[in-house]
Amino acid sequence: MGAGHAHKLYRHGHSPVHDLPPHCKLAAVFCFVVVVVSTPREAVWAFGLYALLIAGVTALARIPAGFLLKRLLIEVPFVAFALLMPFVVPGEQTHLLGLSVSVPGLWGAWNVLAKGTLGVAASVLLASTTELRELLLGLQRLKLPPLLVQIASFMIRYGDVITDEMRRMSIARRSRGFEASGIRHWGVLAKSAGALFIRSYERGERVHLAMVSRGYRGSMPVIDEVTASRTQWAYASALPLLALAVCLVGWTV
Amino acid sequence: MHVPDGFINAPVSAVTGVVAAGAVAVSLRGARRELNERTAPLAGLVAAFIFAVQMLNFPVAAGTSGHLLGGALAAILVGPYTGVLCISVVLLMQGILFADGGLTALGVNVLDMGVVTTVVAYALFRGLLGVLPRTRRSVTAASFVAALVSVPAAACAFTLIYWIGGTTDIPIGKVFTAMVGVHVLIGVGEALITALTVGAVVAVRPDLVHGAKGLTAPLKLRVDGELVDAPAPAREPAPAAHRPTRGLWATGLVTALVLAGFVSFYASANPDGLEKVATDKGIDKEAKEHAAKDSPLADYGVKDVSNARLSGGLAGVIGVGATLVAGSGAFYVVSRRRRTQDEADTRTEEKV
Amino acid sequence: MSTDPAPVPPSLEVSGLAYAYPDGHQALFGVDLTVGRGERVALLGPNGAGKTTLVLHLNGILEAGAGSVRVAGMPVDKRNMAEIRRRVGIVFQDPDDQLFMPTVREDVAFGPAAGGLRGAELEERVMEALKQVGMEEYAARPPHHLSFGQRRRVAVATVLAMRPEILVLDEPSSNLDPASRRELADILRSLDVTVLMVTHDLPYALELCGRAVILSEGVIAADDRTQDLLCDEPLMRAHRLELPFGFDPRSVTVNSG
């Protein structure tokens, strides 16, 4: 995890998807996921259509399928969890490949897998077509409280700096022959964490001084405004609207 | 413990979202009170710190590793409001950037890992500090208990939410046992790291520990007011006394862990333990998601499965018991310390 | 170096400044310092002499316990604070502290935007400042993708964008490789502003500043031509200032001032 990988999340490119304003994309992804989650699990075909929609956007954004699939791996722990459901959920039993499994369990597993995967895929698409600071601007535009946006923006800015500090401390530890291998060593790790906190906090104080020195009085000056035209909104809404149509059909069928 | 999309049904996700938003709004106002115009840079840096510290994986048991959730740590170091904000921002960015935790489940995640951990930890921490003698050691001890309880508390909150709005009817007892069991183990790691970290910060910059504000103020007065509090400085050289207490906890914890391990082996001989192991393993895997995600999953998944099964089983069976043992152990130690405050150090060491 | 506040008030006037931290530790014991407009002055002194404390008084981050600070004739107080902070540009030691925005451009824009500048005017101001430090091509980059020397230059630009009366640099040459060090010196020489440079780098002080003051134990212990100060061995020793090995300030001809 960590901001150290942050720059790998975004895939630079120029595509209709890259060029959409960030707040449109954020809203579209969110609505899409909401629609997916609200779809009845029995409408198996609906999820297939959703997957096709995602694949379509991926192609439009010229994101290689491999890239997307690799990022989907984040879900693996849940796959494991989902695969267990058929065995632990009580209810009507059926036989599958010679194993006795429960029907509600199978449905549960399918539900979590399908919805979880689609959710992850949508988020991954968003992160790989939108730059970090654009995302922040988008969140701001979507009326996330400015203070939260500021906190997030400082977190992104200093995530790398602090991760680097942590790495240096770890190298210093290892250079002196320390290898964290058991409970006895937690004390050392915690001391490092303590030192890291003090450094982070003191840096926060210095950053605050630097901000105040340049006229900061509690709110960020507006430097960039992101705006979206009607057409851009229309493009962005294509995904959730199509999904909504699928979902409605799923409920009625 | 990052919940993905599709785990909790839509209505409950929406409600938790609203509740979480409310909690964040309250925290925004509270944080402004705690830090005023310094809120943004300081909370941002602390969020970055939590973000980084979550990468510190620590060995738990049987070869598996856990990582810090950080709620208790944030609450104690920077106060509950700022703490909630920091964790919420971390979760928000994890959801958007890393697809870690579903967007519709953001409310569940914020409520669970952001609000419940920080609030429980902070309330417990303040409560304990109110009862304990006003020393640095008490701060460390209170942080330990607060963090220890905060993680299973989050697990309970999750279970509750799952019970109301889970998309699959896994018997709630099983979810509860597995979640709480596993998280007690994680809580032990969380507690140790949190307590040691807070201890390390208190030793160097006590003024930075929000939860110890009441502790530092009288210390400063003593410095200013010359000979007013003569006996107090004598009690102050706490660092030397740190060691025996830490030893004590370590002993207590190791005992709990050994006990847990022993019983789990015993339990796994039990025929219907298998089913339990399976559930535990599932949810355990879920809780470990982070660790897996960090090094794009490569070797984690396969290698640790058997270990996870082991530790999961162990945790599931003995989990609740272990909390009780560790918790009451800590309280026992604490109350002993209070009774024989001044000359206790050497004696407690002997007894244990 | 006339200290006479004639028609043009001096950029900086510090008189009788004393300060104690809330914990009781007193750092300044009556500092008197005047820096005329357009002057470049080096502030030298051993660690713990109170240099940073003094710097934080110049734009009102710390409030004087006794004495006063005036910037371009204006007293540093609550009423003038916004204007004072625009006029006193402090470049902190660690550029990572100073560059807190996601991109170079936004960071340079922060100060002027906080002062109310918007749109094309803001853009122009940003590019002008970046050009002054030769970093205009890096406007869209995130700061953490720059080298240390580049980050320091951008840090200078963030302050220049506010068109300050006086530029205060805290250890500008620290952690720079020799080439970056020289580039920064060229930039500083090319600027038409008053400069107060806090430094341990004595050759750098000699190269850039005609005048130097020594802050020691919370007071100005010496105030003279930089070359004369550096050649005064007993004085230097008394204040724990040491020249680098093999460096002889007498052998250098200086044309700064």
Number of H helices, E strands in chain B: 16, 2
B86 contact residues in A (CB cutoff 8 A) = 151
Residue matched to tokens 């506040």: C5
How high is the pLDDT of residue A159?
84
| Spatial separation of the C-alpha atoms in residues B161 and B172, rounded to whole Å | 11
Tell me the CB-side half-sphere exposure of residue A66, using CA atoms within 13 A.
0
Q: What percentage of chain C has pLDDT greater than the value 70?
A: 96
Is the predicted pLDDT of residue B267 greater than 70, yes or no? Answer: no
CA B1 from chain centre, in angstroms, equals 13
Is the predicted pLDDT of residue B239 greater than 80, yes or no? Answer: no
Do A45 and A101 belong together in one domain? Answer: yes
Nearest one of B65, B59, B63 to B310, comparing CA atoms: B63
Q: Does some domain include residue A116?
A: yes
Supply the CATH classification number for the domain B10-351: 1.10.1760.20
**Which residues of C36-143 form beta strands (DSSP E)?**
40-44, 66-71, 74-75, 88-91
| Spatial separation of the C-alpha atoms in residues A1 and B96, rounded to whole Å | 13
Domain hosting A184: range is 145-213
Is the predicted pLDDT of residue C23 greater than 80, yes or no? Answer: no
Average predicted confidence (pLDDT) for chain B = 65
CA C59 from chain centre, in angstroms, equals 11
Do A109 and A180 belong together in one domain? Answer: no
CB contact under 8 A, B223 and C100: no
Structure tokens that stand for C64 in this block: 């004087």
Number of domains in chain A: 2
Range in A236-245, B56-65, C24-33 with the lowest mean pLDDT: B56-65
Is the predicted pLDDT of residue B31 greater than 90, yes or no? Answer: no
Residue matched to tokens 């209170």: B142
Task: Looking at the complex, report in whole angstroms how far the Cα of residue B202 sits from the nearest Cα belonging to chain C.
Answer: 17
Label residue B206 by pLDDT band (50, 70, 90). Answer: confident
Structure tokens that stand for B8 in this block: 């909790």
Nearest neighbour of C98 by CB, restricted to A133, A154, A210: A210
A165 contacts chain C (CB < 8 A): no
Do A122 and A202 belong together in one domain? Answer: no
Rounded to a whole number of angstroms, the CA Rg of chain C reads: 18
DSSP for B51-84, written as a single string: HHHTT-EEE-STT-EEE---HHHHHHHH-HHHHH
Q: Phi, psi (5° rounding) for residue C240?
A: 55, 35
What digits encode the pLDDT tens for the residues B221-238? 333 434 343 333 333 333
Which chains reach chain A with 3 or more Cβ–Cβ distances below 8 angstroms? B, C
Q: Does some domain include residue A183?
A: yes
How high is the pLDDT of residue B219?
36
Is the predicted pLDDT of residue A195 greater than 60, yes or no? Answer: yes
| Spatial separation of the C-alpha atoms in residues C87 and C60, rounded to whole Å | 12
What digits encode the pLDDT tens for the residues A9-53? 778 788 888 889 999 999 999 999 999 988 888 888 999 999 999
| Spatial separation of the C-alpha atoms in residues B112 and B158, rounded to whole Å | 6
Do A63 and A175 belong together in one domain? Answer: no
How high is the pLDDT of residue B264?
36
What digits encode the pLDDT tens for the residues C46-83? 888 889 899 999 988 888 888 999 999 999 988 888 88
| Spatial separation of the C-alpha atoms in residues A239 and A233, rounded to whole Å | 11
How high is the pLDDT of residue A183?
63
Nearest one of C9, C6, C4 to C37, comparing CA atoms: C9
| Spatial separation of the C-alpha atoms in residues B56 and B66, rounded to whole Å | 9
Nearest one of A118, A164, A191, A138 to A2, comparing CA atoms: A164
Cα nearest neighbour of C97 on chain B: B41
What digits encode the pLDDT tens for the residues A136-152? 888 888 888 888 888 88
How high is the pLDDT of residue B123?
93
Average predicted confidence (pLDDT) for chain A = 82
DSSP for B94-151, written as a single string: HHHHH--S-STTHHHHIIIIIIIHHHHHHHHHHHHHHHS-SSHHHHHHHHHHHHHHHH
Do A247 and A134 belong together in one domain? Answer: yes
Task: Indicate the pairing of strand C211-216 with strand C219-225.
Answer: antiparallel
Q: What percentage of chain B has pLDDT greater than the value 90?
A: 16
A80 contact residues in B (CB cutoff 8 A) = 281-282, 285, 301, 305
Do A192 and A112 belong together in one domain? Answer: no
B168 contact residues in A (CB cutoff 8 A) = 85, 89, 104-105, 107-109, 111-112
B41 contact residues in C (CB cutoff 8 A) = 100
Label residue B266 by pLDDT band (50, 70, 90). Answer: very low
Range in A232-236, A246-250, B253-257, B262-266 with the lowest mean pLDDT: B262-266
| Spatial separation of the C-alpha atoms in residues B296 and B292, rounded to whole Å | 7
DSSP lists the bridge partners of residue C91 as C169
Which chains reach chain B with 3 or more Cβ–Cβ distances below 8 angstroms? A, C
Cα nearest neighbour of B216 on chain C: C23
Q: Does some domain include residue A32?
A: yes
Neighbours of B262 (CB within 10 A): 12
Domains of chain C: 12-243 (3.40.50.300)
Torsion from C-alpha of A108, A110, A115, A116, nearest 10 degrees: 90
Do A83 and A121 belong together in one domain? Answer: yes
| Spatial separation of the C-alpha atoms in residues B195 and B77, rounded to whole Å | 11
Task: Looking at the complex, report in whole angstroms how far the Cα of residue B218 sits from the nearest Cα belonging to chain A.
Answer: 22
Structure tokens that stand for A57 in this block: 């956007």
| Spatial separation of the C-alpha atoms in residues A155 and A159, rounded to whole Å | 5
Neighbours of B314 (CB within 10 A): 27
What digits encode the pLDDT tens for the residues C181-236? 999 999 999 998 999 999 989 999 999 999 999 999 889 999 999 999 999 999 99
C115 contact residues in A (CB cutoff 8 A) = 215
Helix (H) or strand (E) holding A100: strand A99-102
CB contact under 8 A, A157 and C106: no
The answer to whether B260 and B323 are in contact (CB under 8 A) is no
Q: Does some domain include residue A4?
A: no
Cα nearest neighbour of B219 on chain C: C23
Cα nearest neighbour of A28 on chain B: B103
Q: What is the mean pLDDT of residues B123-151?
A: 89
How high is the pLDDT of residue B342?
39
How high is the pLDDT of residue A181?
63
B205: helix, strand or coil: coil
Question: What are the residue ranges spanned by the domains of chain B?
Answer: 10-351
Q: What percentage of chain A has pLDDT greater than the value 90?
A: 12
- DSSP letter at B166 equals B
Is the predicted pLDDT of residue B316 greater than 80, yes or no? Answer: no
Q: Does some domain include residue A3?
A: no
A218 contacts chain C (CB < 8 A): no
Do A35 and A127 belong together in one domain? Answer: yes
How high is the pLDDT of residue A8?
65
Range in A225-229, A248-252, C186-190 with the lowest mean pLDDT: A225-229
How high is the pLDDT of residue A101?
79
Task: Mention every residue, 6+ apart, whose C-beta is less than 8 A from residue C66.
Answer: C16, C17, C18, C19, C30
Label residue B265 by pLDDT band (50, 70, 90). Answer: very low
CA C210 from chain centre, in angstroms, equals 15
C159 contact residues in A (CB cutoff 8 A) = 214
Cα nearest neighbour of B278 on chain A: A84
| Spatial separation of the C-alpha atoms in residues A185 and A192, rounded to whole Å | 11
Q: How far, in Å, are A127, A157, B34, B328, C190 from residue A151 at the CA level?
A: 19, 10, 15, 38, 37
Task: Mention every residue, 6+ apart, whose C-beta is less than 8 A from residue B180.
Answer: B152, B155, B156, B159, B319, B320, B323
What is the reported pTM?
0.74
